[in-house]
């Protein structure tokens, strides 16, 4: 796809009028940059197939029936983890996994260009808590964790998977500084406030409640029930910050950036409990890396999705399959109707137990008496750009994560960072941009509708404008842009979501104790560790169910 520059600019500005993108481009100072011809396309999760859930009459009646022991619906990290746990705990039992997309991984999907794989969504795992024995066992089997130091007992991770230096840089006051906590040109009172906040987090990391549990822990259900901490779930993080005299614009930017990066929304839209948990629950340690190290791969967390798939045994995985109905039968089974998009046929699957690992907006359709849980999902844009010149600048060189202060976007990852190719080598470079799109909690559908209706050219204008602000002139060196829009990014832990009654109710078994839900929407915090444990919890429930 390529257009002459003048035609591109005219079309782009006309198409942008009145859309969400117009607002976003307006918030990026500067105009659409010069560029050479850019090849690429706009993709996204299977909206068309997924949206057929809204029009059940358009789906054909079942033409055949299969008897299944254990059925898993959804092949994201939660579903794959459930499949692995079922294989580990009950290897003799037959499990079938159905997935809507052509491949497994869900939000941890990946793509590739001629040079490298790159992530379409989830791209890193912070060092896990060393007490999380089940997660560590998985990582050891996957070759990520290579052993334990005999003296310290701490895990040793594969050096090629630990994010190499330089890990992060921030463009602040025209200079690329090391790390993302603002430092360059930051006035002393702001520095003092940042230091006060980080010192508090250090204390919270070590703090325990009267029940002896950590105040903040991952998976979050292991956190203390401390009566003084849980009420923090009722107020917003922004209100909590104001109440505790945190007003520094630099600190506020850093926190908003962090929350938008993991939850898709800023401090004003998440609970204070979740905002503190974000920092204080991270307590990973390693023998061969500092505590703030992360594990990453060119294809992002798709590496982990594939490892889960390999460790899940030989049970069948059926892709391109939309499950559109679930019901309990009188003979103690759950009947699932599954539409195969390749053959256009529907199969009736009669299962003894079901792990339902779909996002809640899908699960709600499938469970007739689903509780009123309403997760907020911001839409996301992920853009992989092929760039013919080095993305340099003054200060810290190209890093794994590269962020511009005060940008509406979240910066980009260098997809080839782990290849250790050195700096300023010949291009091209593969840069993966992340952008959580602003979402009004009162009308989240509006942002999603705009995101899904926007064109390749509109998104490209936005991304190239942002790239030019980070690296003036570099947009003209972009030769390819593969774009992906997530209509539903990840769950935002809005006030009341994590410890409110709806989440607890939703996690109960459904349809006569035969359907066990597992998805990060059921946790409120969408990170790999939560998905991994959601899957294990549901698998155990399925095997332990009196109806099993």
Question: Contact positions toward ligand FAD, by CB under 6 A?
Answer: 50, 73-79, 98-101, 106-108, 121-125, 301, 322-323, 357-359, 362, 380, 382, 486, 489-490, 519-520, 526-528, 531
**Strand pairing of 412-414 and 401-404?**
antiparallel
Instruction: Give min distance, CB of 361 to ligand FAD, in A.
Output: 9
Which lies closer to ligand FAD via its Cβ, residue 197 or residue 297? Answer: 297
Which lies closer to ligand FAD via its Cβ, residue 28 or residue 362? Answer: 362
Q: Which pair of tokens denotes residue 163? A: 């994010």
Helix (H) or strand (E) holding 97: strand 95-98
Instruction: Give min distance, CB of 36 to ligand FAD, in A.
Output: 27
Which lies closer to ligand FAD via its Cβ, residue 319 or residue 509? Answer: 319
Which lies closer to ligand FAD via its Cβ, residue 301 or residue 402? Answer: 301
Contact assessment for residue 113 and residue 121, using Cβ atoms and an 8 Å cutoff: no
DSSP 220: G
Q: Which pair of tokens denotes residue 19? A: 């859309």
Instruction: Give min distance, CB of 209 to ligand FAD, in A.
Output: 25
C-alpha closest to that of 168 among 290, 65, 313: 290
Which lies closer to ligand FAD via its Cβ, residue 248 or residue 353? Answer: 353
Instruction: Give min distance, CB of 239 to ligand FAD, in A.
Output: 26
Which lies closer to ligand FAD via its Cβ, residue 120 or residue 429? Answer: 120
Alpha carbons 60 and 365: distance in angstroms, whole number: 18
Contact assessment for residue 430 and residue 385, using Cβ atoms and an 8 Å cutoff: yes
Residue partners of 192: CB distance under 8 A and separation at least 6: none
Instruction: Give min distance, CB of 140 to ligand FAD, in A.
Output: 19
Question: Which residue has its beta carbon closest to ligand FAD?
Answer: 76
C-alpha closest to that of 80 among 528, 462, 472: 528
CA 503 to chain centre: 19
Which lies closer to ligand FAD via its Cβ, residue 125 or residue 376? Answer: 125
Q: In sequence order, what DSSP letters do the residues of 455-502 get, joined into one string?
A: -HHHHHHHHHHHHHHHSTTGGGGEEEEEEEEESS--EE--TTTTTSHH
Alpha carbons 135 and 139: distance in angstroms, whole number: 6
Instruction: Give min distance, CB of 107 to ligand FAD, in A.
Output: 3
Which lies closer to ligand FAD via its Cβ, residue 79 or residue 166? Answer: 79
E strand segments, 158-207: 168-172, 175-178
Alpha carbons 377 and 524: distance in angstroms, whole number: 11
Contact assessment for residue 273 and residue 237, using Cβ atoms and an 8 Å cutoff: no
Instruction: Give min distance, CB of 296 to ligand FAD, in A.
Output: 8
CA 217 to chain centre: 19
Instruction: Give min distance, CB of 211 to ligand FAD, in A.
Output: 27
Which lies closer to ligand FAD via its Cβ, residue 41 or residue 208? Answer: 41
Instruction: Give min distance, CB of 204 to ligand FAD, in A.
Output: 21
């Amino acid at each position: 796809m390529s257009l002459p520059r003048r035609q591109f600019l005219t079309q782009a500005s006309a198409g942008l009028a009145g859309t969400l993108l117009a607002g976003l481009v307006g918030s990026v100072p500067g105009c659409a940059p010069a560029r050479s011809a850019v090849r690429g396309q706009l993709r996204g999760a299977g909206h068309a197939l997924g949206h057929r859930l809204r029009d059940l009459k358009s789906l054909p009646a079942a033409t055949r029936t299969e008897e299944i022991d254990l059925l898993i619906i959804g092949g994201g990290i939660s579903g794959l983890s459930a499949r692995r746990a079922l294989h580990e705990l009950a290897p003799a039992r037959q499990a079938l996994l159905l997935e809507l997309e052509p491949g497994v991984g869900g939000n941890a999907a990946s793509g590739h260009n001629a040079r490298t794989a790159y992530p379409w969504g989830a791209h890193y795992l912070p060092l896990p808590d060393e007490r999380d024995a089940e997660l560590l066992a998985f990582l050891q089997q996957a070759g990520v964790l290579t052993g334990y130091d005999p003296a310290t007992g701490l895990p040793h991770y594969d050096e090629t998977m630990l994010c190499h230096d330089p890990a992060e840089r921030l463009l602040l006051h025209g200079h690329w500084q090391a790390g993302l906590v603002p430092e360059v040109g930051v006035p002393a009172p702001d520095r003092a406030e940042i230091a006060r906040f980080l010192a508090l987090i250090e204390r919270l990391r070590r703090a325990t409640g009267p029940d002896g549990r950590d105040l903040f822990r991952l998976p979050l259900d292991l956190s203390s029930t401390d009566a003084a901490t849980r009420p923090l779930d009722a107020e917003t993080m922004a209100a909590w910050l104001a109440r505790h005299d945190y007003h520094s614009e630099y600190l506020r930017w850093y926190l908003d950036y962090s929350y938008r990066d993991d939850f898709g929304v800023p401090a004003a839209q998440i609970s204070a409990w979740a905002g503190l948990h974000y920092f204080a629950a991270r307590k990973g340690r390693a023998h061969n890396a500092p505590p703030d190290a992360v594990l990453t791969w060119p294809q992002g967390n798709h590496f982990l999705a594939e490892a889960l798939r390999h460790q899940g045994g030989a049970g069948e995985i059926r892709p391109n399959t939309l499950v559109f109905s679930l019901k309990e039968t009188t003979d103690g089974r759950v009947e699932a109707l599954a539409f195969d998009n390749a053959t256009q046929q529907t199969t009736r699957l009669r299962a003894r137990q079901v792990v339902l690992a779909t996002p809640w907006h899908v699960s709600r359709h499938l469970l007739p008496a689903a509780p009123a849980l309403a997760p907020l999902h911001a839409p996301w844009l992920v853009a992989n750009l092929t760039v013919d010149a080095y993305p340099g600048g003054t200060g810290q060189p190209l890093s794994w994560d590269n962020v511009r202060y005060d940008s509406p976007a979240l910066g980009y990852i260098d997809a080839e960072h782990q290849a250790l190719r050195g700096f300023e080598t010949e291009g091209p470079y593969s840069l993966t941009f992340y952008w959580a799109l602003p979402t009004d909690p009162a009308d989240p559908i509006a942002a999603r509708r705009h995101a899904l209706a926007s064109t390749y050219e509109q998104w490209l204008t936005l991304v190239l404008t942002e790239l030019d602000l980070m690296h003036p002139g570099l947009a003209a060196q972009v030769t390819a842009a593969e774009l992906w829009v997530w209509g539903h990014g990840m769950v935002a832990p809005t006030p009341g979501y994590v410890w409110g009654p709806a989440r607890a109710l939703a996690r109960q078994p459904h349809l006569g104790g035969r359907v066990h839900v597992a998805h990060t929407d059921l946790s409120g915090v969408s990170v790999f560790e939560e998905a991994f444990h959601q899957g294990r919890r549901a698998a155990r429930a399925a095997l332990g169910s009196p109806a099993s």
